[in-house]
Amino acid sequence: MERTKCLIIGSGPAGYTAAIYAARANLSPVVIEGLQPGGQLTQTTVVENFPGFPQGITGPELMENMRLQAQNVGADIRSGVVSAVDFDASPLVVTIDDGTEIYADTVIVATGATAKYLGLADEVKYAGMGVSACATCDGFFYRKKVVAVVGGGDTACEEANYLASLASKVYLIVRKPFLRASKAMQERTFANPKIEVLFEHTTEGLYGENGVEGAHLVKRLGQPDETHYDLPIDGFFLAIGHNPNTEVFKKYLATNETGYFTPRDESGVRTLVPGVFVAGDVADPHYRQAITAAASGCKAALEAERYLAAKV
């Protein structure tokens, strides 16, 4: 059975930063990449807010750089998905989907978050045929077409603005009479002539022969003037938040009501299980930025190093 001082689960900015710090501290970390190597940033275009890149850098390039940097300092990066853990055991046990079990003195969980869907049967029916949860991945297919984005937060506004650079028209479907997005993002959205915000709208379903041709919408659901109508669109984009990827760990690590890990203390990375640390979006419902994820990956690795040093 293989044993490592530090096992890192996840390969977004948190996982790779943890790997860089752990490797430089001679912990010889093993990184299990997970379902989406490189994480959510591999699905974005230009990142302009990660310090050190005055002209910006594409998400995939940034993640490839982080991966290479982690490898160059000695991290052992492997493909695979963690299917089970035993955090009651000492050392900790992590099982990979190919059946491999790894003993670990410390584990850093940096599994990120996954986009949410409304839960409509039509989202499944039209998956890959007009329904997407990633504008920057799929926007290209909607050049000069009409699309809708669901959500009223920063992500929805960002995606609507991005899609407006490609599509002929973008509807933003918002369930409340206001946007939750930051002021600056709201202003950008309202100022974009291609974006039309549909406040107090909910989506009942989608229609179309061989792909999405429109959405069944309700205006002011539950109000006396409730109105049902169909909106012709070619693409339907979800931007209603994310679910943290905590499922495999729930038996051992505490989560809040929305499923995010709740770290033990102000470090933001220590958990109640000795030797287990959390980093990145999986424990951060608030900031969800590459730089904050990277910072928490750094903290988790430093804490893992201190934990091991104290045990000797």
Known catalytic residues are 134, 137-138
Sketch the per residue contact string, 105 through 124, with ligand NDP: x for CB under 6 A, - otherwise: -------------x------
241 interacts with ligand NDP by CB under 6 A: yes
Sketch the per residue contact string, 50 through 89, with ligand NDP: x for CB under 6 A, - otherwise: ----------------------------------------
Nearest approach, Cβ of residue 218 and ligand NDP (Å): 12
Nearest approach, Cβ of residue 85 and ligand NDP (Å): 27
Task: Tell me which residues in 257-286 interact with ligand NDP (CB under 6 A).
Answer: 286
Total residues interacting with ligand NDP, rule: CB under 6 A: 16
Nearer to ligand NDP, 110 or 148 (CB): 148
Nearer to ligand NDP, 113 or 301 (CB): 113
Nearer to ligand NDP, 95 or 243 (CB): 243
Nearest approach, Cβ of residue 209 and ligand NDP (Å): 26
13 interacts with ligand NDP by CB under 6 A: no
Nearest approach, Cβ of residue 19 and ligand NDP (Å): 24
Task: Tell me which residues in 123-182 interact with ligand NDP (CB under 6 A).
Answer: 150-156, 158, 175-176, 180
Beta strands 242-244 and 113-115 are: antiparallel
8 Å CB contact between 199 and 174:
yes
Nearer to ligand NDP, 86 or 154 (CB): 154
Which residue is nearest to ligand NDP, using beta carbons? 153
Helix/strand/coil (H/E/C) assignment for every residue in the chain:
CEEEEEEEECCCHHHHHHHHHHHHCCCCCEEECCCCCCHHHHHCCEECCCCCCCCCEEHHHHHHHHHHHHHHCCCEEECCCEEEEECCCCCEEEEECCCCEEEEEEEEECCCEEECCCCCHHHHHCECCCEECCHHHHHHHHCCCEEEEECCCHHHHHHHHHHHCCCCEEEEECCCCCCCCCHHHHHHHHHCCCEEEECCEEEEEEECCCCCCEEEEEECCCCCCCEEEEEECCEEEECCCEEECCHHHCCCCCECCCCCECCCCCCCCECCCCCEEECHHHHCCCCCCHHHHHHHHHHHHHHHHHHHHHHC
Nearer to ligand NDP, 123 or 303 (CB): 123
Nearest approach, Cβ of residue 162 and ligand NDP (Å): 11
Nearer to ligand NDP, 29 or 268 (CB): 268
**Dist. CA 136–CA 161, nearest whole Å:** 11
8 Å CB contact between 280 and 261:
no
Task: Tell me which residues in 180-209 interact with ligand NDP (CB under 6 A).
Answer: 180
Interface residue list for ligand NDP (CB under 6 A) = 118, 150-156, 158, 175-176, 180, 240-241, 286, 288
